[in-house]
A and B are shown apart, each in its own frame.
Chain A
């Protein structure tokens, strides 16, 4: 028993310190660690034995609307799971036994159009935090699930926005973004006091009158310019800086009424964690007219660039380009594509500027790749310090897009056009998972998939990467070769994020299974059979079989 206790003790110690770079026994936050690696140092399950994985328990949430998109959190042997309609379950991470649940009372008028899915909770300081379908943030007692505070971020009917992403907790602040990039709305990022729920700061992603960058918006377009913050940011404790990706400007496809660069849409923003003040920004796509958010994860990497180790940030945007910037200064380092069919620009120049923009036209359908679903969706990539590679999915698909002149009405849809998915002009539509050098984009291997891969990717020190596909297969690949080592049919498409953790010396891998989401909803335009793919909402947990007669420790 002694070694077991020491493992737990270390895990607790490191969780408290909060500066942990790689998870040890827990999965304490949305991306595992504040640097958004989605990497675990656990190696009991590895490329040599992953083919022996067996399901050890499953948890049925009973809520299948909109897909099961969560990242479970595990702390001290307890797993915290969120579902669509903001239900939260705390379960014993070893047995799957429910400890408590919390069912949020969403207003009746909130429908599926309000994106009821949820991508995860944050757990810190004895509280569980969640953003809601009607744009509230709630804090629950970690032990009982009792609601401690509940704050309305903004009237969801007025802003046409809500919260689907997991909050990020930094130094007693729960930081949360909002959706609303496709609505006539002005985006922001807000920090609340973890203890009282009081608002500590707000950063508007679109500068107001008198603020630097306000002149990148024409007339009153800044008021309805989108700039959502719908995914989860990262944190560098040494720099005390929060990094967050900002979404597209609204209207999505029509930009003539918002001439200018439209800061800080499609930008990475670096904020002082204490004040929310802007340290720097890097705009990947000035004046976006394609709905290509830069809202996905900000992966913090310390890697050599021309012989010198630098603090870097990697962000893959919806346009299908990975941008690497210096996270101290915001200086551009490199950019490279994660998909083959990218025709919205010809590429990037040496300074990261877009070459030859291929913009939608008013009233005329135009074939542009990728589709609105992105050269990659929001489902997160992973970095393994063992291989030094970044693993991310990519999607091959295009669309006929037609821009339409639209006037923004506060809180209402503000797309400025319509689209219809099309296969790429050369080759089949589909998806893939690839291993890349994070700075040069050099590709080491590719795992091809018939359908877009829409689940996050997990890497571990056991040199495996894990993810799932729309047909329900959850699988492990060899991190060095891409060879498929193991798979398991979960019964519904994978749209969430797998994690790994350890309890009493046994390593587990957990994944949500449950098809759905906005992007899943447009797949039938290219793959009609996906219209009948079954939804679901089951959390599966896998481990290596226990050797005969063993009580606690598993086979090695």
Chain B
């Protein structure tokens, strides 16, 4: 809402803002099959020669349109950049509203000066989500709003020391993994997701990525709490320094703790 208020407090015709918006638009909104060059239409609607309320443009640009082509640009572009795009799109219409008497956008919008992640945290993040590895962490864990939710979201490790996090990663037999035995002879390590209406939803951990399987009671022989499955098998090829990078990344996201982690302290 702060941005919304500020929007009307500044000049619509500031050529520097419109010019910045034009560049951002060309790089982000014209591309691919979207709004076309200078809003001349693509997969997305034409924006040239049409009149939009700036508040509408701002809302749509910032939040997107659910179930439509329009993504939310909040988080992808800064507030300042979004504002510039809105001003630019408004300038494509003949009837853009004009309000005078305020400072340029650049001086109004203050972006939080968040501390930049350290090189170690960045290495850890890259490793956590390295899709070129067969069994990377993000294929089973969410963190920082990314990844696939199979195992626990690691933002929850807030009360863990670096050493405890490393120990959990190396744990041979996590408590919640079971072994499902099916009547057709198949058996596999699994996580029970849901038991309802007679059917059972299990995550089959045999291969990567895990498979969500829905089984009828008649197909299941038994579900045993003991499992041969081990988590530490996914740490193959991860040396002590890389382990430290992963732990540092997890702690940075979960706690905002910028402290470096050494391979030595995880032993």
Contact = CB atoms under 8 A, between A and B. Distances in A.
Given A150-B212, A151-B211, A404-B27, A525 B71 contact: no
Interface in A477-519: 518-519
Contacts of B211: 149-151, 192, 196-198
A521 B30 contact: no
Contacts of B188: 196
A108 B71 CA distance: 12
Contact of A197 (B32, B64, B204): B204
B213 A196 contact: yes
Contacts of A186: 131-132
B61 to A, nearest CB: 13
Contact of A524 (B34, B46, B66, B148): B46
Nearest to A159: B131
Nearest to B37: A420
Interface in B187-214: 188, 204, 206-214
B6 interface: no
Please classify how large the interface on chain A is, using the bins under 10, 10 to 19, 20 to 34, 35 or more.
Answer: 35 or more
B214 A111 contact: no
B129 A199 contact: no
B267 interface: no
A302 interface: no
Interface string B46-59: 10000000000000
Given A147-B214, A415-B31, A420-B37, A199 B147 contact: no
A153 interface: yes
B70 A111 contact: yes
A149 B43 contact: no
B103 interface: no
B26 interface: yes
A23 B210 CA distance: 36
B209 A148 contact: no
Given A152-B209, A158-B146, A111 B186 contact: no
Interface string A253-292: 0000000000000000000000000000000000000000
A404 B28 CA distance: 12
Interface of A: 65, 108-109, 111-113, 146-155, 157-159, 182, 186, 192, 196-199, 208, 223, 404, 406, 410, 413, 415, 418-420, 518-519, 521-522, 524-525, 531
Given A111-B66, A522-B36, 19 more contacts: A109-B72, A112-B43, A112-B70, A149-B204, A150-B214, A152-B148, A154-B139, A154-B209, A155-B146, A158-B131, A196-B186, A196-B211, A197-B211, A199-B207, A404-B27, A418-B31, A521-B42, A521-B44, A525-B36
Shortest Cβ-Cβ A-B pairs, 3 listed: A521-B43, A112-B69, A197-B211
